[in-house]
A and B are shown apart, each in its own frame.
Chain A
Amino acid sequence: MTTLTFEDFPPGRFGSFGPRHVTREEILAFATEFDPQPMHLDEEAAKQSLLGGLSASGWHLCSIMMRMMVDGFIGHAASLGSPGVNEVRWLAPLRPGDDLMLDVDVTEARPSRSRPETGIVMFRCTVRNAAGLALCEMVSPIMVGRRASAGAGQGG
C-alpha cells in the first residue's frame, strides 16, 4: 500500500471510515481499567445518571476513534505523531451495540517551520452512531512526512 504523505491531505473532506461495532463487554473492560464510574459499569446506576443508561467512558470513545483513524489512514501514512488535541467534545453517549462511523475533514495543512521535511495537518474528526447522531468531535493536528523525504526513515 502506498504511504500517504503530507501532500495527500489537502483541506476538505478526507473520508469516512467504519463501521466499528462496540460491545458491552469492551465498554465494561475499558471502564474497569481506566474509568470505573457507575455510569460506565452498572446498568441500574447508569439509568439513574444524567446519561440515562450504560455508556462508554469518553476516553474509551476517543481511543476507539484513534483506532478507527489508524485503521482508516494513519496506519499507512507517514505519521510522526501528534503534539496534542485542540478540543474534544463529548456530545452524546456511546451505548453498547452501537455501530460507529468516523467522518474525517482536513481543516488546515501547512509545512512545519521547525521541521521542513514534515507538515502539520489539522484534522476534524466526528464519530457518529448508526442513526447519524454525532457522539464525539475532535480537532487535532498530526505531523506527517512530506513526499520528498517520505522514504527516509519511514520504512513504508
Chain B
Amino acid sequence: MNFFEDIEVGQRRELGSFTFTAEAIKKFAAQFDPQRFHLDEEEGRKSLFGGLAASGWHVGSACMKLLVADGQRRAKEAAARGETVAVWGPSPGFRELRWIKPVLAGDTISFASVVEQVRTSDSRPQWGIVQARNTGTNQRGELVFSLLATAFVPRRGAGP
C-alpha cells in the first residue's frame, strides 16, 4: 500500500471484476436485503429493475472485496521490493453513492478507483486524507455504480 506522498490526483487503478450469479444475488439478499426483486426472477422482471437485481449493498461489498485484494497485492509487491508497507487507517465513510443501473443476474462488473482529492489532516498530522471515486462498469461498458470514498493514509516517515 502507498503512503500519502505517493498518491496523486488522477491516479487510476483497475481493481478487477466480479460476476453476480443468481445464486450469489439471492444468498446476499436473503441475509441482508430480502426485497422481492432481489430474491426472485419473476418479481425482478415485474419491478423497475427488469430482472433479478443484486442488492446495492452487495454491489458495494463486491467493490470493497476487490479494493482489499488490490491493496493486499500492492502491499505484497512493496514488501517484495524491500519497501516499508503503509498501513491505511479505517475509513470514516463515503458520499455520493449512485446505483446508476441495475446489476442483474449474470452481469460482470469491472471496478476501478480514481483519486479525486488529497489533503493533509489538521487534527492528525501523521495522516493524510484521500478521496477516490470508485466505479463499476458492466460487460456492455455501462457505468452502473459510483461512490466517493474517503480514507486515512499514513504520511511517510510520520511513524505510528
Contact = CB atoms under 8 A, between A and B. Distances in A.
Contacts, number: 99
Contact of A90 (B33, B47, B53, B93): B93
A100 B96 CA distance: 25
A81 B94 contact: no
B80 interface: no
B34 to A, nearest CB: 6
A13 interface: no
A56 to B, nearest CB: 11
Nearest to A137: B93
Interface string A34-64: 1111010000000001110000011110111
A81 B57 contact: no
A12 B76 CA distance: 50
Grouping DSSP codes into helix (H, G, I), strand (E, B) and loop, the A interface class, with mixed when no group exceeds half, is: mixed
Interface string A53-97: 000011110111011001000110001111111111110000000
Interface size class of B (residues with CB under 8 A): 35 or more
B99 A84 contact: yes
A66 B38 CA distance: 13
Contact of A66 (B57, B62, B152): B57
A50 B61 contact: no
Contact of A79 (B35, B89, B92, B99): B35
A35 B57 contact: no
Interface in B35-85: 35-37, 43, 46-49, 53, 55-57, 60-62, 64-65, 68, 72
24 contacts: A33-B61, A33-B65, A34-B62, A35-B61, A35-B65, A35-B68, A36-B72, A50-B152, A63-B32, A63-B33, A64-B32, A67-B31, A67-B32, A70-B33, A75-B35, A80-B47, A81-B35, A81-B47, A84-B97, A86-B97, A87-B93, A88-B94, A89-B93, A155-B43
Interface of B: 28, 31-37, 43, 46-49, 53, 55-57, 60-62, 64-65, 68, 72, 89-99, 147, 152
Given A50-B90, A81-B99, 13 more contacts: A33-B65, A50-B89, A57-B61, A63-B32, A66-B33, A66-B55, A67-B31, A85-B56, A85-B94, A86-B95, A87-B93, A87-B95, A87-B96
